[in-house]
Every structure is written in structure tokens, then in C-alpha cells.
Structure 1
Amino acid sequence: MEIRTQLEESSARIVLAGRFEFSSHRSFREATEQILGRSAVEQLDVDLGAVSYLDSSALGMLLMLRDKAQSAGCVLRLASCSNAVKQVLDVANFQKLFTMV
């Protein structure tokens, strides 16, 4: 999976592309910890528009990120979900846990 980060004044965006699965755990954790370590970041968007596949471990990573973001006082949103990704998130009831834009 490819991960790009974009930082602005008080917001950040993580753009994911490819297969979001267990093998992405380390790079995803490093990218998110780096962003959440910045005290100025108040909002974090995870852009899933170019994700072709996500598995249950990816769902777990998003849940852990949600908890870490809340602890850091950061608003977390899932953005640009493709139809395939949206279907998986809907089955997992993520619309109740995340703001989706």
C-alpha cells in the first residue's frame, strides 16, 4: 500500500492507495503516529479513495487510530470512500463510529 501525508496548519490528510491489509500495519502506524504527535493537528482525514481492498485488520487499524485521535483531541474523518470500501465499512457499521466525508 502507498501512503502519502499532507499537513496544513491545523489539519492533516493521509492518502492511502492499493490494498489496505495486515502487511500495511507498520507503515500506517508510523504515518499516523507522526501526524498525531504534532500538537497543532486538530483534524485528520484518512482518504480511502484509491484503496482497492481492505481486510479486517485494516478495520482494526482504523479503530485503533480513532481511539488515538480521540486521546489526542483530534477529529478523525474517513474521506472519499470508493463504493467497494464503503460497502465493507457499512457492513462493519463504521458509519456509526466515524464521520464519513
Structure 2
Amino acid sequence: MSVTSEVSLDGKQLTIAVKGRFDFGSHQAFRDAYERFYKVPETYIVDLKEATYLDSSALGMLLLLRDHAGGEGGDVRVINSSSDVRKILAISNFEKLFDIT
């Protein structure tokens, strides 16, 4: 498991990439990926292209990121999720909370 983050040159977008299992073991690395930046970006992108697994603690981490981004008014997008991960997000009704593509 690894979590990396990259901010856009203009500082308006932060992309967080999760590789491997996205579970409680990722908690601190995931939080560090977005809390360590002084300037709060306008958009957060969570790239799950290389995520192989997602559990309920990962769903909680996505909710914490949403709160950090401003709650309902925040812009958090989940991209590149596999069909299995997308099913978990759909069952959890996360499609109502996040822009999932």
C-alpha cells in the first residue's frame, strides 16, 4: 500500500493516488497526503487506478477528506476506480456525495 499526493502548479488541485489496499493501514498516510499543505486546494482528486481493495475505513477516510474540503460545498472527485471498487462506492451511496468517474 502506498499513498502519494501531487499538487498542481497553480495550487488549485491536489491529486491523491492510492496503490494497493485502501484500508485502515492507509489512514495516516492518506490524511498526511492532504493535511500537510498550507494552502487549501479548490479541488481534490482521489485516483484509485491502482487500488486493489477498499473497505469501510477507506470510506470513512473519504468522508474525512470531504469534510476537510468543505463538506457539501467541497469539490472531491474519485477517479479511475475498478469495477469492484465502484460497486462498493455505489452500494455505500457515495455517488451522491462524490463525483465518481
TM exceeds 0.5? yes
TM-score normalised by the chain length of structure 1: 0.89
Q: Give CA-to-partner distance per residue, 1:11-37, whole Å, 9 cap, x none.
A: 1111110000111111111112124x3
Measure the CA separation in 2 of the matches of 1:66 and 1:11.
14
The answer to whether structure 1 residue 45 and structure 2 residue 45 are counterparts is yes
Task: Measure how far apart 1:7 and its partner are.
Answer: 1.1
What is the aligned length? Answer: 98
Task: Measure how far apart 1:100 and its partner are.
Answer: 1.3
Measure the CA separation in 2 of the matches of 1:62 and 1:21.
11
Measure the CA separation in 2 of the matches of 1:18 and 1:100.
19
Q: Which runs of no fewer than 5 residues in structure 2 stay unpaired?
A: none
Query: Counterpart of 2:65?
Result: 65
Query: Counterpart of 1:93?
Result: 93
Pairing partner for 1:27 from 21, 26, 29? 29
Task: Measure how far apart 1:74 and its partner are.
Answer: 4.5
Q: List structure 1 segments (4+ residues) > 6 angstroms apart after TM superposition.
A: none
Query: Counterpart of 1:16?
Result: 18
Q: Which runs of no fewer than 5 residues in structure 1 stay unpaired?
A: none
Query: Counterpart of 1:78?
Result: 78
Report the AA paired with residue 2 of structure 1.
Answer: S
Measure the CA separation in 1 of the matches of 2:3 and 2:26.
9
